[in-house]
Every structure is written in structure tokens, then in C-alpha cells.
Structure 1
Amino acid sequence: MLNEIIENDEAEYQRIKSLSKFDLDYNELQEEFKSLVQLSAMIAGTEMSVINLIDNYYQWTVTAFSSKLLQMPREESICDRTIRTHEPLEISDLEKDERFKDRGFSKGDSGFNYYLGIPLTLESGDNIGALCVLDKNSKEISDRDKSMLRLVASEIVNKLEHKRKMDETIFSLNKAIKTRNQVAHDVRGPITGITGLAEVAASEDSSKEEMVQYFRLIKDSGNSVLELTNDILKSGLSNDPFQEKNINLKQLKEKLLKLYRLPSKSKNIDFQIKINPEKSNIIFSRRKLLSVFGNLISNAIKFTPANGKITVDLDVLHLDKGKYLKFKITDNGVGISKEALAEFKQDKLNSTRGTSGEEGFGLGLKLVRDMVTEFRGEMDISSKENAGTEIEVKLLLN
């Protein structure tokens, strides 16, 4: 079954890496895509339409019909089938389909019987999810309406791509501003010294009028440079129009709890997040953090048995090289064997089932390791079979 789901590990890795580049907070997408979701249902004439984005572990559902973010393990979703091709997947009678007739979404009076899913395909060819329309009754959607739904799917991809490019542009601009500010600070230091020296020399009684005039010129020149650097610095303060997505430890804790409380609760796992109270209000960029945490927390949930425990410890460190986000994720799950750890270090991808039979794709840790490298950070894994896993990460913050 697992080989049927993932035929090419490298292709699947590129797919989830493409999705991670969007740096999405799925909770924030509900309102942003509400109109396109409603339009899809109107075109198809169905009771419901949804946008499903599929990462390495879960299907995240964006819908106008619920204020809450919905999610399910990806192996339980229909859209996990849809993203394997570039053609729409249509199922007219879910109750008679051997693959899905026993799933919760096709049972009872509240279940759906009709499904049409259209892959959300990037320019790279990677399918990151699907636009789906569903109905309790069987439907016949015309080719014209299906073409219109494909246009909506393209618009969803375009909006996501635009969002990603805008975020990357803002990040690059802010890096340039920070570099400019640092240069201004570096220049202001020695110039302040020159000005101070000139003031002292100008205030002393000296018979050498030429020397006094000379130092006055130094003072004037120094003040001119100071005014210039002050102008540069002011232009890069908080009123700068290019605002990054910033966060602090307290807000990061709340976001992670909101995203992963339900998956952990479904296995009755005690999921806790602890922060250093002295550092709780330090602000830093949120860029790509949710992707890193999402893969590690999802992995811990997958390999921790029912009634287990997962703890996330968050802290901010000020080290020689700069400001670091330090976090440690500890679970009492099945652990990782020495052989599996050695294969991971050799860049081998191996799939493993979770403690509740969840399909494993063996790609989450590799993606995190690559992202940690991008952050110029460090990751350390210690684990033993049947004794849990501890993963400690330090990320250099911008």
C-alpha cells in the first residue's frame, strides 16, 4: 500500500518541499480564500467546496463552511489520491467505491456521496493539494463547469504563488534595510568620536587660530555625516512600509497549540509547550518556522502511542554569532533504531508506519534538516528503540 501511495520518494520530497516554501499558517487562509471556495460550489452546484493542502502528514482543509481549520491524516483523504496525477478525480458514488465506502465522510445522513477533485499544480509540476466539490447526492457536472473549476484552481495557485513571492520580497528588502542600518551604526561611532574631539579642541583657549578653525571644520563635517546617518536610520524604523511576519515565544506557542492540539488529542497524547518566561516577549521573524515545527511535531505525534506524552521547550539564546531560537521536542514514543539514524545521516529515505497505523513517508526529518541548514542552525537527535526521541534544534534568527 505504501509503495502504491508514494512511487517515488524523491519526487514526493520535492513536492512537500515546494509546499513548505509557501511558509503557510493554515489558520490564516480561511478568510483569504473564502470567496474562491464559495465560487467553486456555485459553479458546480454542490453543497460544499473545499481547498485541501496536503503536507507530509496531514490534509489541511480551507472552507467557507466552517470557522475552524479542519484536518485529517493524509492517508484517510480522497485528495491524497487526487494529487498523484494531473487530471481531475471524479467519484460519483462514494458509498460504492471500495476505497472510500467505509470512511467517515461517506457515511450516514451527513456523509457525502459525490466528489470531484482538481489538483493544485505549481509551475514546477508539483501538486500541493486539490480544489474539491462535494455533495450528498450524485451529480453530473458539465465539461464547461469542470473547465471553469480548473480556472478557479489556477487562480488559487496564482494567489499562493503571489503570496510567496511577496513574502520573499519583503524578507529580502528587510535584510537590505538591516544591512544599511548596520552600516550607518558602524559609521556613526567613529564620526561621533571625531566630533567630540573637535568640540574639545574648539573650546580651549589657543593662540593658534588656524588650529581652532581646522577643528571647527572637522566638527562641521562630522555633524553633516551624523545627520546623514540619522536620516538613513530613521527611514528603516517601524514606519517602514515593508513589514515582516514577526512573532514572539508566547505567540508561537499559541499557534502551535492551535494547529496540533486536535491531532494529539485524537491519540489522547499529552501535548505540552513550555517557554522561557523571561524571553516570552522577544520578537523575531516567523519565516519558515511553522514548517520546521510542523514536521517535527507531526512526526512525534505519529510515533508516540496513545496516552503518550510530547513536550516542546522553547527559548531564545543570545550567542556570539547572533540571536538563536532554541527548541527541544521530546516524546516517549517508539524511538529510532541506531540503524535508522545511521541511514538518515547517510541521506537515505525509509518509510515507517506510525503507532496507530499511520502511513509513513520518511521525508519529514530530511526536510527539517535541510531547512535547519538554510537557517545556519544545528540539529541533534538522540533516540533509542521503545525509549522515545529527543530532537534539539538551534536556528539563527534574522
Structure 2
Amino acid sequence: MLDNIESSEVEYRRIKSLSKFDLDYEELQEEFRFLVELAAMIADTEISAINLIDNYFQWTVTSQAIKSTQIPREESVCDRTIRSNKPLEIMELDQDEHLKYQGFSKEEAGFNYYLGIPLTLESGDNIGALCVLDKNSKEISDKNKAMLGLVAKEIVNKLELRRKMDESLFSLNTAVKIKNQVAHDVRGPINGITGLAELVESEDFSREEMLQYFQLIKDSGKSLLELTDDILKVGMSIDPAKTRLINLKQLKVKLLKLYRLLAKSKNIDLQIKLNPDKANFTLSKRKLLSIFGNLISNSIKFTPSGGSIQVNLDILNLDKGRFLEFVIIDTGLGISQEALSELRENKLVSSRGTSGEKGFGLGLKLVQEIIQDFNGELNIYSEKGQGTKIEVRLLLK
């Protein structure tokens, strides 16, 4: 039991580390193409790929031969690589007891050779792997394997740089919003002071000292107004395209692209609906894919074949402010009251999906933490065997 708890904690730290990158997997193709091509040249193999592995799925973000795709984690060779904490080399995939029945190792469409290098963060967490595959047997020298290790490190460095740039941009946007608010708040009283000074100045007061005093007030007020104008201009000069904005309609399309095929592979009907009146409402997509992706993944894994998943997106104007509402309803296995209680107590919960998948509870715990950072709300309604309904509300600033 202790080993299972420790294993869950290690895995939770790993998927939490991956979530911090806040990746949109579709955006990574071109950015990492050169490194993938370099890896294939070094290894002299037919295919190389970068695979990132979340709670339930492997995401091939860049590959020479195939488009961005997803497969269940249980079917991934790279899942074994990240668990081994060192390069994993398999000379004959079709003879490997765990892999010989998988599609990539079968006859015409299959591969015979695999080498995977873990993508390891400074924290020690393995978020995925750089892999090379070939239909023929290969012998890659130690020197070339070391070079592949350097390519893997460069992939991690690029991901880290991407994360830092996104966080810096978010901080900059937040700072600019604060400056803009301060500027607007200050303009009112300053306008009043300047108007008063102008009124006093226009009157024919005989006291020279009074005139000089109010002249100073007017000059100071104008200087401050010029300063606030400069602050506002800085805010207006930021390119909105760089702030990772998305509207509700685009969010729906993005989620369908990422998860429809995964649902279809289990014969699950995935529907995403939105309030048509709010379709063009624009918001930051920061952390949205991490939150909603984990919830949709959970539903896919714990909904049996022939089931359904419905997602509703809306913008609500409530007393506390404006919220993005995400509601997901599935016909899956449901969650026991005991498991729900443990989740509310911030404990790790583990279970199995409809195909024996592990990891239930980790995705929900991660979502719970991210929503808390957003000052949002998470409500889960479920019973064992009765499906699950989850409501998420995120405060929009």
C-alpha cells in the first residue's frame, strides 16, 4: 500500500511539472521540427519523434513521418522509457512481450528498432521522451547516443524557455492592467485639482502668493496627467496577439481537435456546445487546456464504449464578477462518495478506467489545485455507476 502511495505521489509531481508548461500540443510542430530531424540524422533512422506523456495519453507533438497524434498511455513505448529514468533501447519490438501486439510493431506498418531518451527536467521529473524508430535492426554507437542525449536536453531547454517567456508575458500583461487601472483612478482627482487651479487663476485675486501657489498645483497636475497618458499608451502598445487570447468558439474547436479522436477510438460520443451569444467572447487561454483537457481525459477513460460525454461552455455575469463556466457530463463509471471525500480532503485517489487504465484522481487533484489558483469554483456530482457531472467556474479578470 505504501509503495502505491509513493508511486502516486511521484506520478502526481510528474504530471504537475508537465502542466506548468501549459502546452498547446498543436503549436509545437514547427518549433521542434529541426531537433527531430537532427535526431533522425544522428541515429540514421527512418523516424524520430518527441512524445510528451500526461496522466492518460501520449501526445506526439513533433514527428518526421506522422502528424500530431495521441494514443493511450498504455500503448506507449515511451511510457516505459520515462519509468526507466535512462535511455531505453529495444532491438526487436515484435519480440518484446509487452509490445509485440501493438500496432507499431506489426508487419508492414511496424517498426523493429526503438531507442528512447527521457526528457528530464531539473526537478528529475520525466515529462516525455525523444525517440527514434526504424523498421530495420540498428546499432547506434555510444557517441551517437550521447549526441541524442544532448538533443533531448536542448528540447527540455526550449520547453523551459517557452514556459518562462509565457510566464513573463503574463506578468507583464498583469502589470500593465494594474498601471492602466491606477492611471484611470488618478486622472479623476487630478483633473479636479487642475480645474480648481484654473478657476482660481482666472479670478482677479490680489494675493500674489495665492496665485503662485495655485500655479504650482496646476503645473503639478498637468505633469501627472502627462505621466498617466504615457502609462496608458504603453498598455495600448502591447500586441494583443501575443497575449495568448482565444474566443469561446475557438476554444470549442481546439478541444474537439485534441480529444474527438480519442473519444471515437472508444466509441464515445463527445459533444461540445457553447452559448451562441458568447461565441466571440475573448479571454486568455492560460491554463484552460490544462484544466479542461484533464477533465475530458478523465471522462474518456472512465466512460465505457457506447457512452457519451457532453461539454457546455458559457460566460456568466454573477454578483461576484464575470465567469467562464465549463460543465462536463458523462455516462461513465462514476465516483464513489468515499473517493469524493478523499478528493475534497486533498488526498490522492487511485482507480482504474473502463479498459484497466490507472491514475484516476491525479488529474482531478491537479485540476483542483489550478482552479484554486484562479480563485475559481469546482463542483463534482457523482455516484458509483451513475456517471459524473463536473462544474467549473473561472473568474475572468
Normalised by the length of structure 2, the TM-score is 0.92
Aligned-pair CA distance for 1:28: 0.6
List aligned pairs for 1:220-369, cutoff 5 A. 220-239=219-238, 243-369=242-368
Distance 1:240 1:348 in 2: 42
Distance 1:250 1:70 in 2: 22
Checking the alignment, whether the CA contact within 8 Å between 1:6 and 1:12 is kept in structure 2 is no
Aligned counterpart, 2:165:
166
Match status 1:153 vs 2:152: yes
When structure 1 is superposed on structure 2, of 316-325 and 139-148 the one drifting more is 316-325
List aligned pairs for 1:1-398, cutoff 5 A. 8-66=7-65, 68-198=67-197, 208=205, 210=207, 218-239=217-238, 243-398=242-397
Aligned-pair CA distance for 1:382: 0.6
Matching residue's letter, 1:74: R
Aligned-pair CA distance for 1:324: 2.4
Normalised by the length of structure 1, the TM-score is 0.92
Q: 1:179 to 1:8 in 2, by over 3 A?
A: same
Checking the alignment, whether the CA contact within 8 Å between 2:56 and 2:73 is kept in structure 1 is yes
Q: 1:201 to 1:232 in 2, by over 3 A?
A: same
Q: Deviations over 1:204-239 (max 9, x none)?
A: xx5545577766664444333222211111111143
Distance 2:215 2:249 in 1: 52
SS at match of 2:380: strand
Distance 1:224 1:350 in 2: 60
Aligned-pair CA distance for 1:357: 3.0
SS at match of 1:32: coil
When structure 1 is superposed on structure 2, of 206-215 and 299-308 the one drifting more is 206-215
Distance 1:62 1:379 in 2: 30
When structure 1 is superposed on structure 2, of 7-16 and 44-53 the one drifting more is 7-16
Distance 2:198 2:272 in 1: 56
Matching residue's letter, 1:302: K
Checking the alignment, whether the CA contact within 8 Å between 1:82 and 1:119 is kept in structure 2 is yes
Checking the alignment, whether the CA contact within 8 Å between 2:47 and 2:65 is kept in structure 1 is no
Distance 2:160 2:5 in 1: 25
Q: 1:198 to 1:67 in 2, by over 3 A?
A: farther
Q: 1:388 to 1:312 in 2, by over 3 A?
A: same
Please list every run of 5 or more consecutive structure 1 residues that lacks an aligned counterpart in the other structure: none
Matching residue's letter, 2:165: M
Aligned-pair CA distance for 1:87: 1.2
When structure 1 is superposed on structure 2, of 211-220 and 174-183 the one drifting more is 211-220
Checking the alignment, whether the CA contact within 8 Å between 2:382 and 2:388 is kept in structure 1 is yes
Distance 1:242 1:272 in 2: 29
SS at match of 1:130: strand
The alignment of Structure 1 onto Structure 2 pairs a total of residues equal to 395
Percent sequence identity over aligned pairs: 68
Distance 1:212 1:233 in 2: 32
Checking the alignment, whether the CA contact within 8 Å between 1:173 and 1:242 is kept in structure 2 is no
Distance 1:98 1:282 in 2: 51
CA RMSD of aligned residues (A): 2.4
Checking the alignment, whether the CA contact within 8 Å between 2:18 and 2:54 is kept in structure 1 is yes
Distance 1:6 1:48 in 2: 37
Q: 1:218 to 1:132 in 2, by over 3 A?
A: same
SS at match of 1:348: coil
Distance 1:241 1:299 in 2: 33
Distance 1:379 1:11 in 2: 25
When structure 1 is superposed on structure 2, of 357-366 and 180-189 the one drifting more is 357-366
Please list every run of 5 or more consecutive structure 2 residues that lacks an aligned counterpart in the other structure: none
Aligned-pair CA distance for 1:281: 2.1
Q: Deviations over 1:230-283 (max 9, x none)?
A: 111111114369932111111111111110111111122221112222222222
Matching residue's letter, 2:135: K
Q: 1:192 to 1:240 in 2, by over 3 A?
A: farther
